Protein backbone atom coordinates (compact mmCIF):
# COMPACT_ATOMS: atom_id res chain seq x y z
CA UNK A 1 0.00 0.00 0.00
CA UNK A 2 1.50 3.32 -1.08
CA UNK A 3 1.81 6.02 1.56
CA UNK A 4 4.16 8.98 1.52
CA UNK A 5 4.46 12.57 2.62
CA UNK A 6 6.17 15.26 0.58
CA UNK A 7 7.07 18.69 1.89
CA UNK A 8 6.48 21.05 -1.01
CA UNK A 9 7.36 24.38 0.55
CA UNK A 10 7.77 26.18 3.86
CA UNK A 11 7.39 29.64 5.36
CA UNK A 12 10.65 31.46 6.00
CA UNK A 13 9.10 33.57 8.78
CA UNK A 14 7.24 30.79 10.61
CA UNK A 15 7.16 27.01 10.89
CA UNK A 16 4.25 26.72 8.44
CA UNK A 17 4.77 24.18 5.67
CA UNK A 18 3.07 23.05 2.50
CA UNK A 19 2.88 19.33 1.85
CA UNK A 20 1.14 16.38 0.23
CA UNK A 21 0.05 13.15 1.89
CA UNK A 22 -0.31 10.31 -0.62
CA UNK A 23 -2.73 7.52 0.34
CA UNK A 24 -4.34 4.54 -1.34
CA UNK A 25 -7.45 6.63 -2.04
CA UNK A 26 -5.86 9.87 -3.15
CA UNK A 27 -3.69 12.81 -2.22
CA UNK A 28 -4.28 15.27 0.62
CA UNK A 29 -2.75 18.72 0.29
CA UNK A 30 -1.63 20.08 3.65
CA UNK A 31 -2.28 21.99 5.84
CA UNK A 32 -5.66 20.23 5.81
CA UNK A 33 -8.73 20.16 8.01
CA UNK A 34 -10.59 16.84 8.35
CA UNK A 35 -14.36 17.02 8.88
CA UNK A 36 -15.64 14.45 11.35
CA UNK A 37 -17.93 11.76 10.00
CA UNK A 38 -18.67 10.00 13.28
CA UNK A 39 -21.28 7.50 12.06
CA UNK A 40 -19.85 7.12 8.54
CA UNK A 41 -21.43 10.43 7.56
CA UNK A 42 -20.61 14.10 7.98
CA UNK A 43 -23.91 15.09 9.50
CA UNK A 44 -26.48 16.43 6.97
CA UNK A 45 -24.08 16.35 3.98
CA UNK A 46 -23.63 13.90 1.11
CA UNK A 47 -20.23 12.86 -0.25
CA UNK A 48 -21.01 14.96 -3.32
CA UNK A 49 -21.54 17.98 -1.05
CA UNK A 50 -18.18 17.36 0.59
CA UNK A 51 -16.37 17.12 -2.73
CA UNK A 52 -18.00 20.32 -3.96
CA UNK A 53 -16.85 22.06 -0.78
CA UNK A 54 -13.26 21.00 -1.32
CA UNK A 55 -13.06 18.34 1.40
CA UNK A 56 -10.09 16.04 0.74
CA UNK A 57 -10.29 13.56 3.63
CA UNK A 58 -12.78 12.66 6.35
CA UNK A 59 -12.55 11.05 9.78
CA UNK A 60 -14.66 8.08 10.80
CA UNK A 61 -15.13 6.96 14.38
CA UNK A 62 -13.93 3.50 15.36
CA UNK A 63 -15.87 3.37 18.65
CA UNK A 64 -19.23 4.24 17.11
CA UNK A 65 -18.87 2.05 14.04
CA UNK A 66 -17.71 -0.89 16.17
CA UNK A 67 -20.87 -0.62 18.28
CA UNK A 68 -23.19 0.11 15.34
CA UNK A 69 -23.47 -1.42 12.76
CA UNK A 70 -20.28 -3.34 13.59
CA UNK A 71 -16.97 -3.51 11.75
CA UNK A 72 -17.68 -7.02 10.49
CA UNK A 73 -20.90 -5.78 8.86
CA UNK A 74 -19.06 -2.94 7.13
CA UNK A 75 -16.27 -5.28 6.03
CA UNK A 76 -18.80 -7.74 4.58
CA UNK A 77 -20.40 -4.90 2.63
CA UNK A 78 -17.12 -3.96 0.99
CA UNK A 79 -15.48 -1.66 3.51
CA UNK A 80 -16.19 1.84 4.70
CA UNK A 81 -15.51 3.62 1.41
CA UNK A 82 -18.13 1.56 -0.43
CA UNK A 83 -20.49 1.53 2.56
CA UNK A 84 -20.70 5.33 2.76
CA UNK A 85 -20.07 6.11 -0.93
CA UNK A 86 -16.88 8.10 -0.27
CA UNK A 87 -13.98 7.42 -2.61
CA UNK A 88 -11.44 9.73 -0.98
CA UNK A 89 -9.09 9.07 1.93
CA UNK A 90 -10.51 8.13 5.34
CA UNK A 91 -8.70 8.47 8.66
CA UNK A 92 -10.07 6.40 11.53
CA UNK A 93 -9.42 7.25 15.16
CA UNK A 94 -8.72 4.45 17.64
CA UNK A 95 -11.93 4.80 19.64
CA UNK A 96 -10.00 5.55 22.81
CA UNK A 97 -11.24 9.10 23.29
CA UNK A 98 -14.88 8.05 22.91
CA UNK A 99 -14.43 5.24 25.44
CA UNK A 100 -13.11 7.73 27.97
CA UNK A 101 -15.71 10.40 27.23
CA UNK A 102 -18.90 8.41 26.45
CA UNK A 103 -18.76 5.02 28.16
CA UNK A 104 -21.10 4.72 31.13
CA UNK A 105 -18.60 2.63 33.07
CA UNK A 106 -14.99 1.82 32.20
CA UNK A 107 -12.01 0.12 33.75
CA UNK A 108 -8.52 0.75 32.43
CA UNK A 109 -5.84 -1.91 32.71
CA UNK A 110 -2.61 -2.78 30.95
CA UNK A 111 -4.65 -5.13 28.75
CA UNK A 112 -6.98 -2.39 27.49
CA UNK A 113 -10.25 -0.73 28.44
CA UNK A 114 -13.35 -2.61 29.56
CA UNK A 115 -16.37 -0.38 29.03
CA UNK A 116 -20.14 -0.35 28.85
CA UNK A 117 -21.72 0.83 25.62
CA UNK A 118 -23.48 4.18 25.80
CA UNK A 119 -26.15 2.63 23.54
CA UNK A 120 -27.33 -0.42 25.48
CA UNK A 121 -25.01 -0.91 28.42
CA UNK A 122 -23.39 -4.02 26.93
CA UNK A 123 -19.84 -4.78 28.06
CA UNK A 124 -16.85 -4.62 25.69
CA UNK A 125 -13.06 -4.84 25.87
CA UNK A 126 -11.07 -2.53 23.62
CA UNK A 127 -7.41 -3.49 23.36
CA UNK A 128 -4.67 -2.22 21.05
CA UNK A 129 -5.03 -5.42 19.04
CA UNK A 130 -8.83 -4.98 18.83
CA UNK A 131 -8.67 -1.40 17.60
CA UNK A 132 -6.24 -2.47 14.87
CA UNK A 133 -8.63 -5.26 13.87
CA UNK A 134 -11.56 -2.83 13.70
CA UNK A 135 -9.74 -0.16 11.70
CA UNK A 136 -8.36 -2.72 9.25
CA UNK A 137 -11.86 -4.17 8.75
CA UNK A 138 -13.22 -0.67 8.06
CA UNK A 139 -10.59 -0.21 5.35
CA UNK A 140 -9.05 2.99 6.69
CA UNK A 141 -6.37 4.85 4.73
CA UNK A 142 -4.76 6.10 7.95
CA UNK A 143 -5.13 4.33 11.31
CA UNK A 144 -4.47 5.65 14.81
CA UNK A 145 -2.93 3.89 17.80
CA UNK A 146 -5.04 3.29 20.88
CA UNK A 147 -4.08 5.77 23.59
CA UNK A 148 -5.41 7.03 26.88
CA UNK A 149 -6.44 10.66 26.55
CA UNK A 150 -4.86 12.27 29.62
CA UNK A 151 -7.53 14.37 31.34
CA UNK A 152 -7.10 17.95 32.46
CA UNK A 153 -6.12 18.70 35.13
CA UNK A 154 -3.74 15.85 35.90
CA UNK A 155 -0.78 15.67 38.24
CA UNK A 156 2.65 14.82 36.92
CA UNK A 157 2.33 11.35 38.45
CA UNK A 158 -1.08 10.78 36.82
CA UNK A 159 0.15 12.05 33.44
CA UNK A 160 3.26 9.85 33.67
CA UNK A 161 1.16 6.76 34.38
CA UNK A 162 -1.15 7.61 31.47
CA UNK A 163 1.78 8.22 29.13
CA UNK A 164 3.42 4.92 30.07
CA UNK A 165 0.19 3.10 29.28
CA UNK A 166 -0.23 4.88 25.93
CA UNK A 167 3.36 4.06 24.95
CA UNK A 168 2.82 0.38 25.73
CA UNK A 169 -0.43 0.35 23.77
CA UNK A 170 1.30 2.07 20.84
CA UNK A 171 3.96 -0.64 20.84
CA UNK A 172 1.28 -3.32 20.71
CA UNK A 173 -0.56 -1.53 17.92
CA UNK A 174 2.70 -1.33 15.99
CA UNK A 175 3.38 -5.04 16.52
CA UNK A 176 -0.16 -5.92 15.40
CA UNK A 177 0.09 -3.78 12.26
CA UNK A 178 1.21 -5.71 9.19
CA UNK A 179 2.43 -4.77 5.74
CA UNK A 180 -1.09 -5.12 4.36
CA UNK A 181 -2.46 -2.65 6.90
CA UNK A 182 -2.96 1.06 6.35
CA UNK A 183 -0.33 3.54 7.61
CA UNK A 184 -0.34 3.88 11.40
CA UNK A 185 0.12 7.11 13.36
CA UNK A 186 1.39 7.26 16.93
CA UNK A 187 -0.21 9.67 19.41
CA UNK A 188 1.88 11.76 21.80
CA UNK A 189 0.38 12.17 25.26
CA UNK A 190 1.92 13.59 28.44
CA UNK A 191 -0.57 16.15 29.70
CA UNK A 192 0.68 19.70 30.10
CA UNK A 193 4.20 18.62 31.09
CA UNK A 194 7.05 19.28 28.68
CA UNK A 195 9.32 16.55 30.03
CA UNK A 196 6.56 13.96 29.56
CA UNK A 197 5.76 15.20 26.06
CA UNK A 198 9.44 14.90 25.16
CA UNK A 199 9.57 11.38 26.60
CA UNK A 200 6.46 10.47 24.62
CA UNK A 201 7.93 11.75 21.36
CA UNK A 202 11.17 9.90 21.96
CA UNK A 203 9.48 6.56 22.67
CA UNK A 204 7.15 6.76 19.66
CA UNK A 205 9.85 7.91 17.24
CA UNK A 206 12.01 4.99 18.33
CA UNK A 207 9.15 2.64 17.37
CA UNK A 208 8.87 4.24 13.93
CA UNK A 209 5.37 5.28 12.84
CA UNK A 210 4.11 6.67 9.53
CA UNK A 211 3.03 9.93 11.15
CA UNK A 212 2.63 11.46 14.59
CA UNK A 213 -0.25 13.17 16.36
CA UNK A 214 -0.61 15.41 19.39
CA UNK A 215 -3.36 14.07 21.65
CA UNK A 216 -4.72 15.30 24.94
CA UNK A 217 -5.22 18.90 23.76
CA UNK A 218 -8.44 20.90 23.82
CA UNK A 219 -9.65 18.86 26.80
CA UNK A 220 -10.43 21.81 29.07
CA UNK A 221 -6.99 23.33 29.52
CA UNK A 222 -6.43 27.11 29.15
CA UNK A 223 -5.72 28.18 25.58
CA UNK A 224 -2.26 29.40 26.57
CA UNK A 225 -1.37 25.99 28.00
CA UNK A 226 -2.55 24.26 24.83
CA UNK A 227 -0.42 26.50 22.64
CA UNK A 228 2.61 26.11 24.91
CA UNK A 229 2.40 22.31 24.64
CA UNK A 230 2.02 22.49 20.86
CA UNK A 231 4.86 24.99 20.45
CA UNK A 232 7.14 22.75 22.51
CA UNK A 233 6.14 19.38 21.05
CA UNK A 234 5.59 19.94 17.32
CA UNK A 235 9.27 20.80 16.57
CA UNK A 236 10.30 17.55 18.28
CA UNK A 237 8.35 15.43 15.78
CA UNK A 238 10.13 14.12 12.67
CA UNK A 239 10.19 16.82 10.03
CA UNK A 240 9.76 14.37 7.17
CA UNK A 241 6.46 12.90 8.43
CA UNK A 242 2.93 14.31 8.87
CA UNK A 243 2.13 16.12 12.10
CA UNK A 244 -1.48 15.79 13.21
CA UNK A 245 -3.12 17.87 15.96
CA UNK A 246 -6.20 16.01 17.16
CA UNK A 247 -9.44 17.66 18.26
CA UNK A 248 -8.38 21.27 17.67
CA UNK A 249 -10.56 23.31 15.32
CA UNK A 250 -11.21 26.92 16.34
CA UNK A 251 -10.11 29.03 13.34
CA UNK A 252 -7.52 31.06 15.26
CA UNK A 253 -6.12 27.85 16.75
CA UNK A 254 -5.73 26.38 13.26
CA UNK A 255 -3.81 29.43 12.08
CA UNK A 256 -1.52 29.31 15.11
CA UNK A 257 -0.95 25.56 14.86
CA UNK A 258 -0.12 25.83 11.15
CA UNK A 259 2.43 28.52 11.97
CA UNK A 260 3.99 26.04 14.42
CA UNK A 261 4.36 23.37 11.73
CA UNK A 262 1.19 21.26 12.09
CA UNK A 263 -0.13 19.60 8.93
CA UNK A 264 -3.57 18.12 9.62
CA UNK A 265 -6.42 18.70 12.06
CA UNK A 266 -9.84 17.32 12.91
CA UNK A 267 -12.65 18.69 15.02
CA UNK A 268 -16.45 18.64 15.33
CA UNK A 269 -16.56 22.44 15.68
CA UNK A 270 -17.77 23.37 12.15
CA UNK A 271 -20.54 20.76 12.06
CA UNK A 272 -21.66 20.89 15.69
CA UNK A 273 -21.65 24.69 15.76
CA UNK A 274 -23.68 24.69 12.53
CA UNK A 275 -26.39 22.56 14.14
CA UNK A 276 -26.46 24.97 17.08
CA UNK A 277 -26.85 28.02 14.85
CA UNK A 278 -23.27 29.29 15.23
CA UNK A 279 -21.82 30.38 11.89
CA UNK A 280 -18.23 31.28 11.06
CA UNK A 281 -17.42 34.50 9.22
CA UNK A 282 -14.15 36.21 8.40
CA UNK A 283 -14.94 38.76 11.09
CA UNK A 284 -15.80 36.19 13.76
CA UNK A 285 -19.01 34.26 14.47
CA UNK A 286 -22.72 34.90 14.04
CA UNK A 287 -25.52 33.31 16.07
CA UNK A 288 -28.40 32.92 13.63
CA UNK A 289 -31.05 32.54 16.35
CA UNK A 290 -30.60 36.17 17.48
CA UNK A 291 -33.73 38.28 16.98
CA UNK A 292 -31.80 40.95 15.09
CA UNK A 293 -31.72 38.67 12.02
CA UNK A 294 -35.49 38.17 11.79
CA UNK A 295 -35.83 40.55 8.83
CA UNK A 296 -32.19 40.59 7.67
CA UNK A 297 -32.14 40.01 3.91
CA UNK A 298 -28.36 39.76 3.68
CA UNK A 299 -26.50 36.46 3.22
CA UNK A 300 -24.52 35.14 6.14
CA UNK A 301 -21.39 36.71 4.65
CA UNK A 302 -21.22 39.15 1.76
CA UNK A 303 -19.22 37.75 -1.13
CA UNK A 304 -19.22 34.19 0.17
CA UNK A 305 -19.75 31.87 -2.83
CA UNK A 306 -21.08 28.90 -0.86
CA UNK A 307 -24.51 27.49 -1.81
CA UNK A 308 -26.11 28.81 1.36
CA UNK A 309 -24.91 32.39 1.00
CA UNK A 310 -25.67 32.39 -2.72
CA UNK A 311 -29.34 31.46 -2.26
CA UNK A 312 -30.57 32.24 1.27
CA UNK A 313 -30.84 35.17 3.64
CA UNK A 314 -30.12 35.40 7.33
CA UNK A 315 -33.83 35.93 7.88
CA UNK A 316 -34.70 32.64 6.15
CA UNK A 317 -32.02 30.70 8.02
CA UNK A 318 -33.22 32.12 11.32
CA UNK A 319 -36.80 31.14 10.43
CA UNK A 320 -35.69 27.57 9.72
CA UNK A 321 -33.71 27.41 12.93
CA UNK A 322 -36.53 28.75 15.09
CA UNK A 323 -39.01 26.40 13.36
CA UNK A 324 -36.63 23.47 13.90
CA UNK A 325 -36.68 22.59 10.24
CA UNK A 326 -34.07 19.99 9.28
CA UNK A 327 -32.98 21.95 6.21
CA UNK A 328 -31.25 24.50 8.41
CA UNK A 329 -28.72 21.90 9.56
CA UNK A 330 -27.74 21.21 5.98
CA UNK A 331 -27.51 24.87 4.97
CA UNK A 332 -25.53 26.01 8.01
CA UNK A 333 -23.19 23.01 7.78
CA UNK A 334 -22.50 23.79 4.12
CA UNK A 335 -21.49 27.31 5.06
CA UNK A 336 -19.28 26.31 7.99
CA UNK A 337 -17.48 23.57 6.09
CA UNK A 338 -16.96 26.00 3.21
CA UNK A 339 -15.46 28.51 5.65
CA UNK A 340 -13.01 25.93 7.03
CA UNK A 341 -12.02 24.58 3.62
CA UNK A 342 -11.46 28.13 2.37
CA UNK A 343 -9.36 28.98 5.42
CA UNK A 344 -7.10 25.98 4.84
CA UNK A 345 -6.88 26.67 1.10
CA UNK A 346 -5.89 30.28 1.74
CA UNK A 347 -3.22 29.18 4.20
CA UNK A 348 -1.80 26.74 1.65
CA UNK A 349 -1.76 29.46 -0.99
CA UNK A 350 -0.09 31.92 1.39
CA UNK A 351 2.64 29.43 2.30
CA UNK A 352 3.25 28.64 -1.35
CA UNK A 353 3.58 32.32 -2.20
CA UNK A 354 5.86 33.05 0.74
CA UNK A 355 3.41 35.36 2.51
CA UNK A 356 2.06 33.32 5.40
CA UNK A 357 3.13 35.90 7.99
CA UNK A 358 1.13 38.55 6.10
CA UNK A 359 -1.84 36.17 5.85
CA UNK A 360 -1.77 35.65 9.60
CA UNK A 361 -1.69 39.41 10.20
CA UNK A 362 -4.65 39.96 7.84
CA UNK A 363 -6.59 37.08 9.46
CA UNK A 364 -6.53 38.79 12.84
CA UNK A 365 -7.12 42.26 11.35
CA UNK A 366 -10.38 41.07 9.76
CA UNK A 367 -11.58 39.60 13.06
CA UNK A 368 -11.05 42.94 14.82
CA UNK A 369 -13.37 44.80 12.45
* Three-class secondary structure of residue 62 per DSSP: helix
User: Would you call 93 a catalytic residue per the annotation?
Assistant: yes
Q: Work out whether strand 32-37 and strand 58-60 pair parallel, antiparallel, or are unpaired.
A: parallel
78 burial via Cβ count (<10 Å: 0-12, 13-18, 19+)? exposed
Q: What radius of gyration do the chain's Cα atoms show?
A: 20
For 86, 119, 255, 258, the CA distances from 185, given in Å and listed in that order, are: 22, 29, 23, 19
The Cα–Cα gap between 175 and 206 comes to 13
End-to-end CA distance of the chain: 48
Selecting among 141, 147, 199, 266, the annotated active-site residue is: 266
Secondary structure (3-state) at 306: coil
Distance CA 299, CA 201 (A): 46
Q: How many CA atoms lie within 13 A of 144 on its CB side?
A: 30
Alpha-carbon dihedral 63, 67, 71, 72, rounded to 10 degrees: 160
Strand partners, 63: none
Query: One of 93, 147, 199, 263 is an active-site residue; which one?
Result: 93
Nearest to 58 by CA among 331, 274, 268, 339: 268
Half-sphere exposure for 27 (CA within 13 Å, toward CB): 7
φ, ψ (nearest 5 deg) of residue 144: -115, 145
List phi, psi (to 5°) of 41.
Answer: -160, 135
Reply yes or no on whether 266 is catalytic.
Answer: yes
Measured on CA atoms in the order 126, 129, 134, 139, is the torsion positive or negative? positive
Which active-site residues does the annotation give? 93, 266
Amino acid sequence: MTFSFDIVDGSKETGARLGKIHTAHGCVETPAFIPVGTQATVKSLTPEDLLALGVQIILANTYHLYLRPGHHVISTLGGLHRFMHWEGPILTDSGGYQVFSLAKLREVSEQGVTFQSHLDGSSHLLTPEKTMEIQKALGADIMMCLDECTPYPATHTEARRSLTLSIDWARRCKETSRTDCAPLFGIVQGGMFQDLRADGVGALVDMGFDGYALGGLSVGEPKEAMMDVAAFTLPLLPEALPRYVMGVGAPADLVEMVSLGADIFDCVIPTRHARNGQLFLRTGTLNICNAQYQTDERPLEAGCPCYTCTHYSRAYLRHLFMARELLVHRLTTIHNIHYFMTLMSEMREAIGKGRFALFKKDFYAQRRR
